[in-house]
A and B are shown apart, each in its own frame.
Chain A
Amino acid sequence: MSKPKVATAALSGCFGCHMSILDIDERILDLIEVVDFHKSPINDIKTFTERCAIGIIEGGCCNEENVAVLQDFRKNCDILISFGDCATMGGVPALRNGIPLKECLDEAYIDGPTVHNPNKVVPNDRELPLLLNKVRPCQEIVKIDYSLPGCPPSADTLWEALNALLADKPVDLPYELIKFD
């Protein structure tokens, strides 16, 4: 019998949540006994070639590419998990939500006190995905089945949740594992 597939993605975040995935340390050996990792930054598989049981999403959506990836995950995964505060509430990237996009870009590329940009060019290559008006948490773009908050969520949080899901049990985290920071 083939093992259930797990896919992961890092959207608009800091990759800290993926670090937290790796923080399960030697337990990753136990994990790969029961699951296969499919599309993920960990193994650099770029596209879905088969349906996955679980998709784990780090980060919210700050640009159109994030949205496309998230929607792709929703289409290809049975269970989708928002992993970490950026995915569940926008996180630090969402701090720009109170500021018009133009002002953000000007501050970042032209006016910021540490910026050296004599030609005052804001990067605008067609390879660069367009930014959204506001950074959105994942549940505002696709249906999310489980949310695991934290900045980042601890490795134990993910471990507990994955074990529960793989055993077909409810995800019921102990008090110590629910953290928003």
Chain B
Amino acid sequence: MSQNLETFVKHVCRENGNDAGRMMDICRAVQAEFRCVSPEAMTLIAQECNCDRSQVEGVVSFYHFFSTKKQGEVVIWLCDDVIDEMKGSADVAEALKQELGVDFGQTTTDGKFTLGWTPCMGLPDQAPAAMINEELVTNLTGDKIREMVRELRAGASVKDLVKVPGDGMNADPRLNTMVSNNIRVKGPVIFADIENAVGLKAALAKTPEEVIEEVKTSGLRGRGGAGFSTGLKWMFTRGAEGEQKYIMCNADEGEPGTFKDRIILTECADMVFEGMTIAGYAIGSTEGVLYLRGEYAYMKEYLDSVLEERRDAGLLGKNVAGKEGFDYDIRVQLGAGAYVCGEESALISSCEGTRGDVKTRPPYPAQKGYKGKPTSVNNVETFASVNRIFVNSGQWFSATGSCGSSGTKLLSVSGDCKRPGIYEVPFGMKLIDFLKMCGGEDAIAVQVGGPSGELVNPDAFGRSIEYDDLATGGSMMVFGPGRDVLKVASKFLEFFVEESCGYCTPCRAGNVFIKERLDRIIDGKGDKDDIAYLEQLCNTVKVTSRCGLGQTSPNPVTSTLKNFRGEYESRIQENPDRMELSFDINAELTEAAAITGRMSEHF
């Protein structure tokens, strides 16, 4: 084993140029081969890459899909998202526990299976879902997962689990996945027909400055949710000092409830790569990196083959599309399970082979990004939109959508609605009209923009979906009658606690305390002091956190306090004796009762 490990690590490191910057790829390969990155492996990797062992340990311990302890041959990650929970993931979990005889976080004694939870993997429209090694399985039930486990035990490969592939390109042999696109409404930007290289050639006919100008004219703003002007971002990156510059595509769509990038990359990968190429030309870059979330590893081979086709067609490589002197190529970098890597500077850290820590700002990525060079990080949907802008025009693009929010938006819809899936709608659509479109008009609450967004109540259904009103990176989670919005909020806080990188105090510790106090109220053990406590705590976490994760992580509580205050007020207790109602003496005596065999004399 040790000899094997050494040979393998040496080989993998060599394949990656013995470059510690490729730590993600190296660790992924070692994890896949040995089902863990053991302490011994860490030491070997550090030796081969001439880096600190602690860097390797830092990386292995940071990402969800790496482990130091040996996992089973088959690792089943069941999706722990709130929508999956609504759609019956508890039954699936129970079936898995029974079938495998182990609990979550454990490996079967024969070393065959490991069971684990993982946050939203981008499939809430076909929930419950799970990731089995790199294969995504959808629409699960207890019976279905039992059958899958039995097949795997009988020697089937994970690919054999795909009986009927999903719609569209999902059936392509390079993907061959049971994942479905569920495109419900097509719009003119992303899902309209497009011909390869038309946009690229139109862009290359302009000067880089003109390209940036055209993007500014279009009014395109970042589709990840923050909404910064794409043209400006490119202008700053172009204007920054530095010989080498980089384009990065953020395909780490980890915001629970968001899955639009999955569909864009499945159906319109060329559009995205073309947008990245145009961006590279505009800022003066020769290299682009698409950072793909670890949950979408099943797409890697497919995306690589699309890139290869583009190279063959002369659309990547030397003198792109015949443009003398413009050399550009793209590679796909896989993540390994970390929501925070969707933050642009954390994404860069991850690409550099380190922990996905957010970087100190300033300097901004446009000044000092990937490998210390000026870098523009843009969203998948942004790049696809760029391609359309150069097929049509900036003017055309700005005429779609609303004032201040031009173009269309892909909305990923899940939860209590009749038609979950993907909708391409023009910006400015009223939430109520959208709910009618997806069959969710009897919603009692809609989570707009994922956990970091806002949970709105029906009074707000007349508001419109655009940057300056209800901003969303695409996540729309619909909650129907009977859903408990505070439990939803608690689930989201659990997500933030687990996904915080732990760098700064408020996000690392504060979210733990927010969740504790929210749960206290949900359990009917809170009083009015607890509401005041939560308000102050949420504000502290929001305004003192270092990055967007912590600055938005209190939102599930602040937005329910604002929009569903009655839910809190109806659960808090009068507390005339001024006890801490959350203190449960019986729960505190369980160990002593078991040891002594006695019951309490006092209580």
Contacts and interface: CB of A to CB of B under 8 A. Distances in A.
A and B touch in the complex (CB under 8 A): yes
A160 to B, nearest CB: 25
B596 A133 contact: no
A139 B600 CA distance: 22
Contact of B585 (A64, A105, A143): A64
A27 B208 CA distance: 84
Interface residues of A, number: 26
Given A68-B603, A129-B601, A75 B577 contact: yes
B578 interface: yes
B602 interface: yes
A130 interface: yes
A100 B591 CA distance: 8
A5 interface: no
Interface of A: 64-65, 67-68, 71, 74-75, 100-102, 105, 122, 124, 126, 129-134, 136, 139-143
Interface in B557-603: 577-580, 583, 585, 587-593, 595-598, 600-603
A129 to B, nearest CB: 7
12 contacts: A64-B601, A64-B602, A64-B603, A68-B602, A100-B591, A126-B598, A126-B601, A131-B592, A132-B588, A133-B588, A142-B578, A143-B529
A71 B598 contact: no
B579 A129 contact: no
A67 B601 contact: no
B580 A143 contact: yes
A133 to B, nearest CB: 5
Contact of B589 (A64, A100, A122): A64
B577 A74 contact: yes
Closest 6 CB pairs of A and B: A130-B592, A143-B578, A101-B591, A68-B602, A132-B588, A131-B592
A130 to B, nearest CB: 4
B23 to A, nearest CB: 33
Contacts of A136: 583, 588
A68 B603 CA distance: 8
A109 to B, nearest CB: 11
Contacts of A64: 585, 589, 600-603
B324 to A, nearest CB: 68
Given A132-B589, A133-B590, A71 B579 contact: yes
B589 A130 contact: yes
A83 B591 CA distance: 28
Contact of A130 (B529, B587, B596): B596
Contacts of A67: 583, 585, 588, 602-603
Contacts of A133: 587-592
Contacts of B603: 64, 67-68
Contacts of A131: 591-592
Contacts of B580: 139-143
Interface string B411-438: 0000000000000000000000000000
A118 to B, nearest CB: 20
Given A74-B577, A102-B591, 19 more contacts: A64-B585, A64-B601, A67-B588, A68-B602, A75-B577, A101-B595, A122-B595, A124-B598, A129-B602, A130-B589, A130-B592, A130-B593, A132-B588, A132-B589, A134-B588, A140-B583, A141-B583, A142-B578, A142-B579
Contacts of B588: 67, 132-134, 136
A75 to B, nearest CB: 6
A126 B602 CA distance: 11
Contact of B595 (A75, A105, A126): A105
Nearest to B599: A130
A169 B411 CA distance: 58
Contacts of A122: 595
B578 to A, nearest CB: 4
Nearest to B587: A133
Contacts of A139: 580
Contact of A132 (B577, B592, B596): B592
Contacts of A140: 580, 583
